[in-house]
Structure 1
Amino acid sequence: MGLLGWSGHYLSNITVGVPMLLLTLAVADCVHIITGYIHGLHRGKSQKEAIAYTLELNFIALLVTSVTTSFGFLMMNASVSPVLVDFGNLAAVGVMIAFVLSITLLPALLAIMPVKVTATNMEVDDQSMLSLAEWVIAHHRKILPFSALIVLLGAVLMMQNQLNDELVKYFNEGSEYREDADFFENQVGNTTLSITFDTQQDQGITKVEFLKTLDTLTEWLYEQPETNHVSSIVDVMRRLNKNFNGDQPEYYRIPDTDELAAQYLLMYEMSLPYGLDMNSRIDIGKSAVRVTVIMKSLGSQEMIAMEERIRDWMAVNAPQYNYTITDLAVMFAHIGATNMASMLVTLPLALLVISSLLILALRSWRLGIISLIPNCSPIIVGFGIWFLISGEINLAVSVVISMTLGIVVDDSVHFLSKYRTARMSGKSPEDAIRYAFVTVGRALWVTTVVLATGFSILATSEFVPNSSLGLLSGVVIVIALLGDFFMLPAILLLTDRKVYQKKVQKHPERQYE
C-alpha cells in the first residue's frame, strides 16, 4: 500500500467509527427515559402517566446533555484536519437526532409495548443507591482531599505525555500492512521527506553555484543518523561528468561550467526511455528541483526535529534560495501538534459555553460553577493514566478532550438536576444527595457501562488510533462516573449549604423513602 493510499485508509478508518459512537450515545439517552418510565410504573402510574413522568423528569437534562455533547464534537472544527472536522460535525448532528428520537419515537414504542415490572428489584436498586449515598455523606470530608490528590497527581502525569505520531505503528504488529512496512523498513526505510528548491530563474538548477550548494546539502543529509538514502540531481550530474570524461574517478564531481551542466542534463533527458522523464524531479523550465530523503521510521517529534535541522542548515548555507519541506510524514507530524494546540485554544471557550448552558439549565450559577470541577477532572486524570499506559499522544488521542468533554457533562447534569429538584422542595443537602442517587444513580451507572462498553469495542481495533481513542475515552467516562458519585456530592455537601427558595413539589411521590 502506497503512502497516499495509506492516508486514505487511515482517514476512512477514523470516519467509520461514527456509527458505533452514535449508537452508544443514543442508547445512553434511551436508558434515562426507560429508567424513569419503569420508576414511574413502580410508583403505581399507568403507562401514559409513566411516560409523561419520565419525559418531565428527563427532558431538560437530556436536552442540555445532548447540546453539550454536540458542542464538544463541534469543537473539532478547530482541527486542521478536514476529516476530523467532518467527524465532529457528523457526530454533533447525530447526537441531536438521537435526542429527538429518544423523546418521540421511544415514548411512542413504550406506549404500545406491554411492560412487566418487579417491585422487589426496584427496591433493591433503591436500597443499594441509598446505601452508597449514605457512605458518601458519612465520608465526604475524607473523599474531597483524596479526590483532590488524585486530580493533582493526574495533572502532573498528564504533563509528561509527548505528542508523537509514527505512521508505521498505527497498525499493530502481526497485521499484513505492518509486516510489509517492517520488511521495507529493514531493507530501505519507509519514511520520506522532500525538499523542493526554487531558484526563481529559468535553467537555474544547471548553475554550478546552485549545484555545489545542492551537493553540499546532499552530503550533509547523508551524515544525518536518520538518513538511509538521498535522491538528488547532483548524483546524476556527477555520474554524467565522469562518463563524459572517460570514466575517470577524479571527474566524479559537479561539472565545471554552467553550459556543461546544461548540456549534460539535456543529453540525459533525451536518452531516457518514454515514461521515465524527470518531470517528477525538476520542472519544465529547469528552475526548481526536488530532493527526496529516505529515512528509517520516525515519530512526529523526530520528524519535526529533522525538519528544523534542515531549516537551520538552509538559513546558514543557502539563504538565497526559496525552498519547501513536504511529504506525508511531515504533514502528519505537524497535524498532531497543531490539532492539540487548536483544541487547547478552544478549550476555554468550550468550558465557558458549557458552564453557561449548565447555569441556565440548573438556574443556579453556583451549581454551574461547581459542576466544572467534576467535569474537567476526568480528562485530567484520564490523560494522567494514559501516560502510564502509553505516554504518547497521537492524532486520534488529541481529539479526546473535545470529544469527551461534552459526554462527561451528561452525568453531572442528570445528577445536579435531581439534586436541585430536591433542594427546591426544601430538602437539606444530605437529603438532596440521597434523592439524586435513588432517582438517577442507577441510570448513570448503566449509561456509563453502555458508553464504556461501546468505546471498549473500539479499543479492540487493530488500527492503533481507533484503539487509543476508544481506550482513553472509555477510561475518561468511567472516571467521570466516579467523580459524580464521590467528588461531586462531597463538594456539594461542603459548599452548597444555603437555603433554597422552597417551591411546591409537583410530584411528591418522587421520594427515596
Structure 2
Amino acid sequence: MQKFVLSLIKDRSTLLISSIFVLAAFLSLGITKLELEYSIKSWFRSGDQYLLRYEDFREHYGPDSNLIMMVKFKDKVSNPKNIKTLQNIEKDLWKIKNIVRIESLVNFNRTSAQEDEILINPLVPESYQTNDVSPLEYELKNNPELKNYLISKDLKSTVFYAYPRSKVGIEGKVAKGIVRSIQKTIIPNYPEVEIYMTGGVRMGEAFETATLGDFAFLIPLAFLLMAFTLWIFLRNTVLVILSLGLVAITVLSTLGVQGWLGVKLGLVTAMCPLTVMAICVMDLVHVLSGYKKHNNILLGIESNLKPTLLTTLTTMIGFLSFLTAELYPIANLGIISSIGIALAWVYTIFLVGPMLYLIPLKLKTAKTAKAPQIFDFIFELTQKAPKTIIVFFIIITAVSLRLTFLNPIDSNVQNYFSSETEFAKATQAFKDNIGASNAAEIVLKSPTDIKDPIFLKKADQFIHALEKRSDIGKAVSLIHPLKEVHKVMRSGDEKEYKIADSKDIIAQELFFLDISLAPEKSIRNFHSIDSKNLRVSIFWHNESSAQIKNATQEVEQLITDHGLEGYVTGVAPLVLGIDEYIVESFIESMLIATTIIAIFMMIVFKSVFIGLLSILPNIIVPSFGAAILYLMDKPFDTSSVLVFSICLGIAIDDTIYFITRAQEQLDQNLSVDQAIKIVLLDAGKTLSLTTFILVSVFSLFYLGSFTPNHNFAIATVTVLSFALILDLVFLPCIMTVFFGRGRMIKPTKA
C-alpha cells in the first residue's frame, strides 16, 4: 500500500489535488442543508420508552413546555396604568405566531354568583379604571391560586405563561420564533417595565444562542492560536497557511456531510468540528515533522503513512462504537466524527502531499543537534526504574478509580449557562420574585372517569399534600375551579369549597366550566381526551437530575399513599432518561471500542501484547480525568461524560502512533531499549507538540460563557496531558519489563 500511495502522489498529483478540491466543494455545499436542533426530544430515538410516554402525554393533554415571561413594575401591579400595560402585552402575545394558550393575571378567571346566575369573569375586567385598588390588592394577596404562580409577594411582578403549538420535528424552530418575536415586537415597546423570559421554550433558544455565540468567538481565536503555535514549530508561513486551510476545509467538509445526511446540529453534534480539528492537526504535524526532517514530502509521508493510518482507523473505531448508544445525538456524533476523521487523513495525505510534491518549499536543513534533554531524562528514568514507575501508575490509577466511583451522576442543565446570560438572569429573577420555574407533569388515573367523586377527593387530598412539600411551588389542576364552582353554586359558602359527593353534580359542574370558558382556557387541558385521567401541572425547585430523580420517586410514592394510580411525566423523566443512557453509552462504547481496537491491533501486528498495550488509554486515562472532576467538586453530567468520550478518542491516537513507531524499530531487530530511545527522541517531540497545540487551543474554551465548554477545556487539558505522560513514560516501562532490554524475541502471535 505504501508504494501505491507514493506512486499515486508522484504520478497523479494534479488529478489528486483537483479531485480533493471538487470533493471538498461538493461536501461543503451540504452546510446549506444543515439545521439546528436543541429540543430535549432530539436526544431520543423514535420508539424509545421515555419518548413514547412523553409523546402519549402530549397527544392526550397538549403542550407541556412553555415560555415564562415575567413583567416587573416599579410600583404595584394593581395600578390601573399597569393593568392596562398587561392587557396590551397579552394582546401583543396573541399576535405572535404559534402561541396557542396563555395563562396570565389579566385572563385569570373568578367564579361568582349574581342572583340565580353563576358567572365566570376575569379577575381584572377589560375596562379596569378605579381610584380604589384595595379590592384587587386584597385578592392578589389572599387568593391561594395566584401565590407562587401569577403574582410576587410584593405585588410588583406578574407572569405570562405562553404555550406553543405542538409541531413535530420543528419544536426548536417554533420556540426560537416565539422568543425572537417577543424580543423584537414586545420588549422594545414597553421600556417602562422589566421583562424576563425563562421556561422550557426559552431554554431551547438559550442553548442555541450560547453555543453559537461561544463558537463564533472561540473558533476564530482557536485558529489564531493554532497559527501561532504551528508557526513556532514550522517556521514557514506557507506551511502554516496550508495547514490552517486544510483544517478549515476538513471542518467545512465534515459539517457539509452532516447536512447531506440530514443530521441536525445540536449540543452534542456541535462537538464534531472540534474533534475533527484535533485529529486533523495531529495528522498534519506528524506528516510535516517528517517533511521537515527529510526535506522531502514523499519521505515524510512514507515514514508516517502506517502510523497515521492506524491511528485514523482506531480512532474511527472508537467513535463508531457510539452507534450502539440509545441517545440519538451520540450515535450521530459517532457517525459524523468518524467520517470527519477519515476525511482529515485523506486530505492530509492526498492534498497536502501532492501540493508539497509539486511545489516543494525550501526549508532550512534540519539540524542534527542533540535531542532535547527532557527525552534523554525520560529514557534514563524508564530504564532505571521501570517496575517502580509501573507500580506508581497502578497506585495512581487505583486511587483515581476510587475517586471516580465516589463522584455522583448529576446533571443540572440550568448550570450550563453563565450567570451573566439573559436566560440565567431571567431564571434567577423569577425565582426571587415568583418561585419555582421548573415544570413537571403528573397523570392521575381514574378507575372509571374524572367525574368519579371518590377519585377526585383522593386527588384533592393528594394535591394538598403535594403543595406542602418544600420543593413544590405550585400545583395547577382541574380541582380548584371545580371546587370553586361547587362553592358558588352553594351561595358562596366557604364550607362548600370542596368536591361534590354526587357524580351527576360533578358532571354538571364540569359541563358548566366547559361551556363558560374561552377555548384557550378550556378545562380540557387538564384531563385526557377520553376524560379518564387527570392532569396536574407542577412547578418545583428541583433542577439537577439527582433532585428530580428523588422528587419523582417521592411524588409517585405519595400518589400510591393516597390510594391513586399515576406517574410523573413531561420533560422531567426525559432528563432522567438522558442521564441513564449517557452513562450506559459511555461504558458500552468504551468496552466495544477497547475490544475491537485490541483485536485489530493484534491482527495488524500479530501480537497479543501489542493489542493489549494499545488499549491502556481506554482503561487508565479516563480515571485520571474523572478523579480531577471529583477533586474540583464537579459531578458527572451529560456534558462531562460526552467530553471525556471525545477526548479519549483523541488520546488513543498518540498511543497507537507511539506503538506503531516502536514496532517499526523492533522489526529492524533493534533491542527494546534502542527502539524506545529512538522513538522517544524522534516521535516524542512530535507527540509533545501535537499535545501542546491541542491543549493550548482547547483550553481557550474555558473563556466561553457556556459551562459545557468549560468542561471541555478542563477535560482536554487533563486527559490529553495524562495521555502524553502515559505514552512517554508508562508505555516504555511496560515494554522494558515485558521484553527486557536485550534483543527482542518475536512477540506471541494471535
Same fold (TM over 0.5): yes
Tell me how far 1:156 sits from its aligned partner.
1.1
Q: What is residue 419 of structure 1 aligned with on the other side?
A: 662
Take 1:467 and 1:54, find their aligned partners in 2: how far apart are those partners?
Answer: 37
List gaps (5 residues or longer) in structure 2.
Answer: 1-197, 209-265
Code of the aligned partner of 1:282: H
Tell me how far 1:8 sits from its aligned partner.
5.8
Q: What is residue 207 of structure 2 aligned with on the other side?
A: 10
Tell me how far 1:107 sits from its aligned partner.
1.0
Q: What is residue 146 of structure 1 aligned with on the other side?
A: 392
Code of the aligned partner of 2:468: E
Code of the aligned partner of 2:440: L
What SS is found at the alignment partner of 2:526?
A: coil
Code of the aligned partner of 2:441: S
Q: What is residue 412 of structure 2 aligned with on the other side?
A: 166
Question: Quick check: 1:70 aligned with 2:70?
Answer: no
Moved more, 310-319 or 105-114: 310-319
What RMSD in Å do the two structures reach over aligned CA positions? 2.3
Equivalent residues of 2:672, 2:744 under 8 A apart: no
Question: Quick check: 1:107 aligned with 2:353?
Answer: yes
Equivalent residues of 1:168, 1:297 under 8 A apart: no
Q: What is residue 362 of structure 1 aligned with on the other side?
A: 605
Take 2:376 and 2:310, find their aligned partners in 1: how far apart are those partners?
Answer: 26
Equivalent residues of 1:227, 1:293 under 8 A apart: yes
Question: Quick check: 1:188 aligned with 2:442?
Answer: no
Between the two proteins, the alignment pairs up a number of residues equal to: 490
Take 1:479 and 1:161, find their aligned partners in 2: how far apart are those partners?
Answer: 20
Take 1:7 and 1:401, find their aligned partners in 2: how far apart are those partners?
Answer: 24
Code of the aligned partner of 2:488: N
List gaps (5 residues or longer) in structure 1.
Answer: 42-46, 503-513
Tell me how far 1:136 sits from its aligned partner.
2.9
Q: What is residue 340 of structure 1 aligned with on the other side?
A: 583
Q: What is residue 494 of structure 1 aligned with on the other side?
A: 737
Q: What is residue 34 of structure 1 aligned with on the other side?
A: 288
Moved more, 487-496 or 326-335: 326-335
Moved more, 343-352 or 408-417: 343-352
Take 1:364 and 1:117, find their aligned partners in 2: how far apart are those partners?
Answer: 40
Moved more, 26-35 or 368-377: 368-377
Equivalent residues of 1:394, 1:465 under 8 A apart: no
Q: What is residue 366 of structure 2 aligned with on the other side?
A: 119
Code of the aligned partner of 1:207: D
Q: What is residue 230 of structure 1 aligned with on the other side?
A: 475
Question: Quick check: 1:293 aligned with 2:538?
Answer: yes
Code of the aligned partner of 2:503: D
Q: Deviations over 1:323-350 (max 9, x none)?
A: 3422223311321122102321343222
Take 1:158 and 1:289, find their aligned partners in 2: how far apart are those partners?
Answer: 43
Q: Compared with structure 1, are the counterparts of its residues 77 and 429 closer, same or farther at alpha carbon in structure 2 (3 Å cutoff)?
A: same
Tell me how far 1:127 sits from its aligned partner.
5.6
Q: What is residue 499 of structure 2 aligned with on the other side?
A: 254
What SS is found at the alignment partner of 1:280?
A: helix
What SS is found at the alignment partner of 2:521?
A: coil
Q: Compared with structure 1, are the counterparts of its residues 13 and 403 closer, same or farther at alpha carbon in structure 2 (3 Å cutoff)?
A: closer
Aligned residues with identical type, % of pairs:
21
Q: Deviations over 1:417-448 (max 9, x none)?
A: 12112222222211111011122111101111
Q: Deviations over 1:193-238 (max 9, x none)?
A: 101234375xx11210110121122122112221111112111222
Tell me how far 1:489 sits from its aligned partner.
0.9
Code of the aligned partner of 2:324: A
1:197 equivalent among 434, 444, 447: 444
Moved more, 301-310 or 281-290: 281-290
Take 1:376 and 1:242, find their aligned partners in 2: how far apart are those partners?
Answer: 67
Higher relative contact order (CA 8 A, sep 6+): 1
Tell me how far 1:501 sits from its aligned partner.
5.7
Equivalent residues of 1:164, 1:393 under 8 A apart: yes
Take 1:271 and 1:60, find their aligned partners in 2: how far apart are those partners?
Answer: 77
What SS is found at the alignment partner of 2:518?
A: coil
Q: What is residue 699 of structure 2 aligned with on the other side?
A: 456
Q: Deviations over 1:56-99 (max 9, x none)?
A: 22222212211222222223333333223222321111111111
Question: Quick check: 1:277 aligned with 2:474?
Answer: no
Select the structure that is richer in helix.
Answer: 1
Q: What is residue 353 of structure 1 aligned with on the other side?
A: 596
Take 1:227 and 1:2, find their aligned partners in 2: how far apart are those partners?
Answer: 16
Q: What is residue 92 of structure 1 aligned with on the other side?
A: 338
Q: Compared with structure 1, are the counterparts of its residues 361 and 65 closer, same or farther at alpha carbon in structure 2 (3 Å cutoff)?
A: same
1:214 equivalent among 459, 474, 484: 459
Take 1:54 and 1:131, find their aligned partners in 2: how far apart are those partners?
Answer: 27
Tell me how far 1:415 sits from its aligned partner.
1.1
Q: What is residue 506 of structure 1 aligned with on the other side?
A: none
Moved more, 157-166 or 470-479: 470-479
Equivalent residues of 2:647, 2:715 under 8 A apart: no
What SS is found at the alignment partner of 2:539?
A: strand
Tell me how far 1:17 sits from its aligned partner.
3.3
Q: What is residue 52 of structure 1 aligned with on the other side?
A: 298
Equivalent residues of 2:672, 2:743 under 8 A apart: no
Take 2:577 and 2:712, find their aligned partners in 1: how far apart are those partners?
Answer: 19
Take 1:411 and 1:244, find their aligned partners in 2: how far apart are those partners?
Answer: 78
Equivalent residues of 1:362, 1:416 under 8 A apart: no
Take 1:108 and 1:318, find their aligned partners in 2: how far apart are those partners?
Answer: 76
Take 1:237 and 1:154, find their aligned partners in 2: how far apart are those partners?
Answer: 58
Take 1:83 and 1:375, find their aligned partners in 2: how far apart are those partners?
Answer: 22
